[in-house]
Amino acid sequence: MILFDLDGTLVDPAGSITGGIAASLQLHGLPVPAPEQLHTLVGPPLREGLRSLGGVTEDNLPAIIRDYRDGYRRHGMAASSVYPGVRQALDELRAEHRLVVATSKPQSLARQLLRTQDLERYFTAVCGSDDDETAPVPEHGTKVQAMAEALAAVGHPGRAVMVGDRHFDLDGAAHHRIPGIGVLWGFGSRAELTRAGATSLCEDPAGLAVRCRDLLRYGRRDRPAL
């Protein structure tokens, strides 16, 4: 079984996330952070990232999220694109393994994005965060919870591996005691993914199927070097 993150791993948001956040902040008369800080908001739950920004309060947070989501549904999903080589990797992997999405994105929005990008057909299940973004955060975080639901959805998957571009994905893999592949075409740097304990790093989607097969065969013991 192979678990995949979504934004930054399967799909390139092409500025739709950072640009959408900037537009929503401007709409509410709030300062827009530098691009470097906006990029750090791709990966964690939106509300957690927004809470780190100046001017965002518990009172205005729901409206900022609402306006961002409205713009994302209207424009952002269509502006996104599947990373080159990802479809080929998924075609190769689904012939041998069950594939599941585990994302911090709200579940219904994740499904909509996958349908828009013609990716939903590859996956046995799509697991994300609560569609009610005011709901309490799960005890161990949304990524860990999404991964738990993904593992349970397939039922007794045997060996599993997590594929993602940020440390949140690898933290979730460590929590569930499964190997984690850090991909280098997304938003996380090599340093971030290495610090997070990536079992393996993958430079481009062309090498992903081989990395997944190796880890599913060997697990953490006797695994290939990074």
Per residue in 119-156, pLDDT (tens digit) is: 999 999 999 988 877 666 666 778 999 999 999 988 75
Is 96 a member of any domain?
A: yes
Question: Are residues 42 and 63 part of one domain?
Answer: yes
Please indicate, yes or no, if residue 138 is contained in any of the structural domains: yes
Helix, strand or coil, per DSSP, at residue 126: strand
Within-domain flag for 178: yes
What is the CATH number for 31?
1.10.150.240
- pLDDT at residue 156 in the model: 58
Tell me how many domains the chain contains.
Answer: 2
The confidence score (pLDDT) of residue 221 equals 40
**pLDDT interval class at 222 (50, 70, 90):** very low
Same domain, yes or no: 168 and 185:
yes
User: Does pLDDT of 226 surpass 90?
Assistant: no
- Distance in angstroms (rounded) separating the CA atoms of residues 2 and 170: 13
**Region 187-215: what's the mean pLDDT?**
95
Residue 91 lies in a domain: yes
What is the Cα–Cα distance from 136 to 105, expressed in whole angstroms? 15
Please check whether residues 205 and 161 belong to one and the same domain: yes
In a domain, residue 226? The reply is no
Predicted pLDDT of residue 43:
77
- For residue 203, pLDDT over 50 is answered with yes
pLDDT at 97 over 80: yes
| Cβ neighbours for 38, distance < 8 A, ≥ 6 positions apart | 18, 21, 22, 32
Q: Flag whether 223 is in a domain.
A: no
Same domain for 154 and 119, yes or no, is: yes
Could you tell me if residue 224 is inside a domain? no
Residues 173 and 73 in one domain: no
109 and 199 belong to one structural domain? yes
Angle between helices 16-27 and 61-71 (to 10 degrees): 130
Verify that 46 and 125 share a domain, yes or no: no
Residue 99 and residue 121 in one domain: yes
Q: Are residues 67 and 89 in the same domain?
A: no
Please give the pLDDT value at position 44: 79
Range of the domain at 57: 16-79
In this prediction, residues 106-121 reach a mean pLDDT of: 95
**Which of 79, 97, 112 is the last residue in one of the domains?**
79
Check residue 91 and give its pLDDT: 96
Please check whether residues 176 and 103 belong to one and the same domain. yes
Position 15 scores a pLDDT of: 84
